[in-house]
Chain A
Amino acid sequence: MKKYWKSQHEKNESSEAKITKHTPKGNLEQVLDIFEDGTAEAKSNRRDFLKLCGYSLAITTVLSSCENTVQKAIPYLNKPEEITPGIANYYASTYMNASDYASILIKTREGRPIKIEGNNLSPISNGACSARVQASVLSLYDNSRYQSPQIEKEKVSWDKFDDSILKALDSQKENKIALLTPTIFSPSTRKAIKYFTDAYPNIKWIQYDTQSASAILQAQKLCFGKDGLPDYRFNKANLIVSFDADFLGTWLNPSEYIKTYTDTRKLSGSLNKMSRHIQFESRMSLTGSNADERHAIKPSELNLLIAQLYNEIVILKGQQKHDVPEATKIIKELAKDLLEQKSHSVVVSGSQELNAQILINAINYELENFNSSINLENPLLNHQAIDEDMDQLIDNLASGQVKGLICYHTNPVYSHPKGEKIKKAIESLSFSLSIHETPNETSSLMKYIAPDNHYLESWNDAEIKKDSYSLMQPAIHPLFDTRQFQASLLKWSGQDVDYHKFIMKHWEETLFPSQTLYTNFKSYWEHTLQEGIFQTKTVSGNKLKFAELDIIKILEAITQKKKTNRIELQIYEKVTIGDGSMANNPWLQEMPDPISKICWDNYLNISPKQAKELGLETGNMIKLNGDLELPVYILPGQAYNTVSIAMGYGRTICGKVGKDVGFKASHLNTNQHSSVTLEKIEGHFDFAMTQTHHSMEGRAIVREANLDEYQKNPKAGNDHKHEYKNAGIYKEPEFPNHHWGLAIDLNACVGCGACTIACQAENNVPIVGKKEVIRAHEMSWIRIDRYFSGDENEPGVVFQPVMCQHCDNAPCENVCPVAATNHSSEGLNQMIYNRCIGTRYCGNNCPYKVRRFNWFDYTQADSIPNNLHDPTGMTLDLSRMVLNPDVTIRAKGVIEKCSMCVQRIQEGKLNAKLEGRKVKDGDIKTACQQTCPSGAILFGDLNDKGSDLFKLASSDRNYHLLEEIHTLPSVSYLTKIRNKKS
Chain B
Amino acid sequence: MSKLCLFFSIVFFLLTTSPSFSENQNTQNHDKSDHNFLESSKRGERLFKGLVLTKTKLKACVSCHNISFSDTLNWNPSAWDIAHSFSSKEISDFNSILNAPIAKVMSKVHAGYAYNDEELKHIKNYLVKLKEYGTQEQKPVVNNLILFLFLGLLITLALIDLFFTKKIKYKFITILIFFLALGYQIKMLSEDAMALGRNENYAPDQPIKFSHKVHATDNKIDCRYCHTGVDNSKSAVIPSANVCLNCHSIVREGRNSGKFEINKIHAAIENNKPIEWIRVHKLPDHVFFSHAQHVNVGKRECQECHGEVEKMHIVKQVEDLSMGWCLDCHDKTAVDFNTNNYYSNTFKKLHLKIVKEQIDSVRVKDIGGRECARCHY
Residues of A within 8 A of B (CB): 1-12, 50-51, 53-55, 57-58, 61-66, 68, 70-79, 84-87, 736-738, 822, 824-826, 828, 830-835, 861, 886-889, 899, 902-903, 906, 909-910, 912-919
Contact = CB atoms under 8 A, between A and B. Distances in A.
A508 B224 CA distance: 42
Of A1, A822, A834, the most chain B CB neighbours within 10 A belong to A1
B170 to A, nearest CB: 31
Contacts of B339: 916
Given A7-B69, A68-B197, A834-B376, A73 B277 contact: yes
Given A3-B19, A71-B279, A913-B343, 7 more contacts: A51-B9, A54-B13, A77-B273, A85-B237, A87-B232, A830-B376, A918-B341
A58 B292 contact: no
A79 B279 contact: no
A906 B374 contact: yes
Contacts of B255: none
Given A830-B372, A903-B288, A918-B345, A77 B274 contact: yes
Nearest to B147: A1
The 5 closest A-B pairs by CB, nearest first: A9-B134, A86-B233, A54-B9, A79-B240, A830-B373
B25 interface: no
Interface stretch (B45-53, B103-111, B188-196): B188-196
Interface string B1-40: 0100110011001100101000100000000000000000
A50, A736, A833, A887 — most chain B CB neighbours (10 Å): A736
Contacts of A58: 9-10, 13-14
Contacts of A887: 377
B204 A77 contact: no
A724 to B, nearest CB: 26
B370 to A, nearest CB: 10
A660 B277 CA distance: 46
Interface string B207-246: 0000000000000000000001100111101111111000
Interface size class of B (residues with CB under 8 A): 35 or more
B58 interface: no
B376 A10 contact: no
A654 B232 CA distance: 44
Given A738-B346, A833-B376, A906-B374, A77 B297 contact: no
A923 to B, nearest CB: 12
A62 B14 contact: yes
Given A74-B274, A75-B277, A834-B286, A87 B233 contact: yes
Contact of A85 (B205, B233, B284, B349): B233
B112 interface: no
B196 A84 contact: no
13 contacts: A1-B145, A2-B192, A6-B23, A66-B196, A70-B204, A70-B279, A71-B278, A72-B277, A75-B240, A84-B233, A86-B234, A834-B286, A887-B377
B342 A84 contact: no
A826 B368 contact: yes
Given A1-B144, A8-B205, A78-B240, A910 B297 contact: yes
A61 B10 contact: yes
A834 B196 CA distance: 14
B350 interface: yes
B268 A65 contact: no
A50 B374 CA distance: 43
Contacts, number: 221
A75 B234 contact: no
Contacts of A77: 240-242, 268-269, 272-275
Contact of A736 (B13, B148, B204, B349): B349
B292 A85 contact: no
B346 A65 contact: no
Nearest to A823: B371
Interface in B242-281: 242-243, 268-269, 272-279
A738 to B, nearest CB: 7
B340 interface: yes
B275 A75 contact: yes
A86 B228 CA distance: 12
B267 to A, nearest CB: 11
B322 interface: no
B275 A886 contact: no
Contacts of A828: 373
Contact of A6 (B137, B268, B272, B292): B137
A57 B10 contact: yes
Interface string B169-211: 0000000000000000000110011011101001011000000
Contacts of B14: 58, 61-62
B192 A72 contact: no
B96 to A, nearest CB: 26
B377 A888 contact: yes
A76 B373 contact: no
Given A822-B372, A824-B368, A914-B296, A74 B275 contact: yes
A72 B10 contact: no
A70 B10 CA distance: 26
B271 to A, nearest CB: 9
Contacts of A906: 288, 374, 377
A900 to B, nearest CB: 9
Nearest to A23: B17
A913 B373 contact: no
Contacts of B5: 50, 54
A77 to B, nearest CB: 4
A376 B348 CA distance: 55
Given A61-B10, A74-B277, A737-B347, A914 B288 contact: no
A781 to B, nearest CB: 12
B373 A824 contact: yes
B156 interface: no
Contacts of B241: 75-78
B146 to A, nearest CB: 10
A392 to B, nearest CB: 53
B204 A916 contact: no
Interface string B110-154: 000000000000000000000101110100000111001000000
A63 B269 CA distance: 40
B240 to A, nearest CB: 4
Contacts of B229: 84-87
Interface string B285-320: 110101011001100000000000000000000000
Contact of B204 (A4, A55, A737, A910): A4
A65 B80 contact: no
Contacts of B268: 77
Contacts of B205: 8
Given A62-B17, A738-B346, A830-B372, A70 B278 contact: yes
B282 interface: yes
B78 interface: yes
B262 to A, nearest CB: 16
Nearest to A76: B240
A246 B16 CA distance: 65
B202 to A, nearest CB: 8
B135 A75 contact: no
Contacts of A87: 229, 232-234
Contacts of A3: 19
Interface centre among B193, B237, B241, B345 (most CB of A within 10 A): B237
B235 A917 contact: no
Nearest to A889: B285
Contact of A9 (B133, B143, B232): B133
A736 B369 CA distance: 13
B238 A899 contact: no
A74 B377 contact: no
Contacts of A1: 143-145, 148, 188, 192
A875 to B, nearest CB: 15
Contacts of A57: 6, 10
B367 interface: yes
A463 B245 CA distance: 46
Nearest to A901: B377
Contact of B342 (A75, A903, A916): A916
